[in-house]
Chains A and B, each alone.
Chain A
């Protein structure tokens, strides 16, 4: 049985082609890895011929993933039952406040948790392989090569005692057959690509000699050195000034276009999400509560949490009003309710009957998923009519 149905060209090895030669046909593939390779190859050719290709397949499929941390000898879920897909050529933003589990999700995909203190269940299907079944050595074939990660704090994420060049070429030491001269050239090329003005000089410097923005560019260079299919960016611009932030986001977008990578952008900044993301997943207390395209999330937010967040943001024209404050606090890991709607205590005016006992995701419009039924009649106590929240 095949998994995917994609549109392709009859002759895969077509090199010189013109549009009239293209015959569209349905291919039935059983091997996901082949589908991905084929997709990427065809995509370049077709787009050069002026045809746009829609996302053919999700190459990262996170299914029912929970990650639990050991606290005082007992395991507590930091993220529970996450279902998420990432496609080629898209930026998926995961947004939520501190403690919602967004960074845990990232480090789970990267396999960076200490197995003695974490318990991970579910499956993460990456180009046909379940990452969660890999040994550490096998995982190392993916980390840095097919999955790159960009970290939040660019100063501490770089080894203070190593030159920039060595830190970038270290990735290639393990994932390429480059000679040292080739690595050197690639380092300079990468530094140039991430917008560093004088790559030769920077390559020779140590992290502390660079500005925050430059360091973050170096981190990005490390993440993309082996042209990974998936890039996970964990709060990549939080430590940076706004003007630098804009530049870094531009660099990310360009790289994604060039490599056809899928990017998971983890951030707490709704503005960054609205400017950059194609799709958005909103997380609260370890769960995804709403998911959809950027337009769906920002133009027609449904879940009470998403709507509350957008309302608590300082916006144009609300200078004289108080900002909306969500009642209560995010529960700690140990006190996380295991049944019922986790957001319910923070919207106490909503009757219990509006919530589900075991909240599931509901599809509002195609691709737009919302957890729990409480969104249907949700309204803020001070604002009877629904809508007009984001305007």
Chain B
């Protein structure tokens, strides 16, 4: 059984208008998505701004009011508040945010920041608590003198590591990481990504890794879901997504990642423009009449794409032929 099963999750935001300010319409931020996160794995959720990926992440932690569908954890639907409390869900599931400065209370010392989840969930003695905080700081590679400093005294990368330390304090089973490195410099990003992987190896944590950066996602995630306009357009393993993409949106995203291979610059650009051309001409083939993505159809045990079944099979066929 998967650690977390997300089934047909929907989050709609109301639009109010008219004389009495009544709800007249809804924006489907997340419009029926289904995927599973396995224990000890990193699941990548990729999409552009406005695709609904962050809303999905917040729903999984329980920060978002869900309109429909369910999120099962140990067989219980945690979209209901009572179940979250019963399961101690927020003890098991933590979150790392993009903006490390604004997500850490500027008036609290690092000791209190990291100890906060401990105080909420595991009532330790003062000494045990301190020991645990020191241990956590050690895990993320910060010195003991960090205890008494304030968030602004650290660099962006160090702060992000403090965010990681806080998230792992309660030995969670799942961490939702919402763009954890997109505000960081390359060398600092490397540091944080390494830490996240190390912690995963040591504690068997699962991640839901939300990002727009396909390079980082490729490095971190074994299974990836591509999100577009509130729906999933393609899910599969790293190999499925990066080497055999089927949906035009996935192809577009992949083609747009800048490559560091200068020698292939012209070729890469040409292939990107070719994909854009296809996108422009055949858009209606990939989306239904309302401009929404189709339901997912499996083309292999690991790989599903949001297309009508016949087209999906046909594309998968072509893909294997090209590979052969």
Contacts and interface: CB of A to CB of B under 8 A. Distances in A.
| Chains A and B share a contact (CB less than 8 Å) | yes
A274 B261 contact: yes
Contacts of A308: 187
Interface string A268-298: 1111101100000000000000000011001
A298 B261 contact: yes
B263 interface: yes
A294 B259 CA distance: 13
B256 interface: yes
B197 A310 contact: no
A323 B253 CA distance: 23
Contact of A241 (B49, B215, B265): B49
B187 A97 contact: yes
B260 A270 contact: yes
B37 to A, nearest CB: 19
B186 A309 contact: yes
A98 B253 CA distance: 26
B215 A243 contact: no
Contacts of A271: 215, 257-260
Counting from the closest, the 10 A-B pairs by CB-CB distance are A271-B258, A314-B219, A323-B190, A312-B190, A97-B185, A241-B48, A242-B256, A246-B256, A326-B187, A275-B258
A272 B186 contact: no
Given A271-B259, A275-B269, 14 more contacts: A246-B272, A269-B258, A271-B258, A294-B262, A299-B262, A309-B186, A312-B186, A312-B187, A313-B215, A316-B218, A323-B189, A324-B190, A326-B187, A390-B261
B292 interface: no
B193 interface: yes
Contacts of B313: none
B265 A325 contact: no
Contacts of A299: 262-263
A102 to B, nearest CB: 12
Contact of B253 (A242, A269, A318): A242
B189 A312 contact: yes
Looking at B155, B190, B193, the one whose CB has the most chain A CB atoms below 10 A away is B190
A118 interface: no
A274 B212 contact: no
A325 B218 contact: no
B-side binding surface: helix, strand, loop or mixed? helix
Contacts, number: 103
Taking residues whose C-beta sits less than 8 angstroms from the other chain, chain B's interface range is 35 or more
A270 B187 CA distance: 12
Given A275-B268, A313-B186, A316-B218, A323 B259 contact: no
5 contacts: A97-B187, A246-B255, A274-B259, A314-B193, A325-B194
Contact of B215 (A275, A314, A326): A314
B67 interface: no
Contacts of A314: 190, 193, 215-216, 218-220
Contacts of B48: 241-243
Interface string A82-113: 00000000000000011000000000000000
Contacts of B238: 319
Interface string A162-194: 000000000000000000000000000000000
Pick the most buried of A246, A269, A309: most chain B CB atoms within 10 A of its CB: A246
B76 interface: no
Contacts of A98: 156, 185
A322 interface: yes
A322 B238 CA distance: 17
A243 B191 contact: no
Contacts of A245: 256, 258
Given A274-B258, A295-B263, A309-B186, A241 B194 contact: no
Nearest to A328: B187
Nearest to A96: B185
A242 B189 contact: no
B260 A242 contact: no
A99 B193 CA distance: 21
A212 interface: yes
B252 interface: yes
A78 to B, nearest CB: 17
Contacts of B261: 274, 298, 390
Which of the listed residues B155, B259, B262, B268 has the most CB atoms from chain A within 10 Å of its own CB? B262
A326 B185 CA distance: 11
Given A212-B49, A298-B261, A314-B193, A242 B218 contact: no
Interface in B243-285: 252-253, 255-263, 265, 268-269, 272
B101 interface: no
A313 B213 CA distance: 12
B214 interface: yes
Nearest to B51: A241
A316 B198 CA distance: 20
A298 B187 CA distance: 17
A299 to B, nearest CB: 7
A348 B49 CA distance: 41
Nearest to A239: B49
A315 interface: yes
A268 B262 CA distance: 16
A242 B214 contact: yes
B153 to A, nearest CB: 12
Given A309-B187, A312-B187, A319-B238, A274 B193 contact: no
A318 B197 CA distance: 13
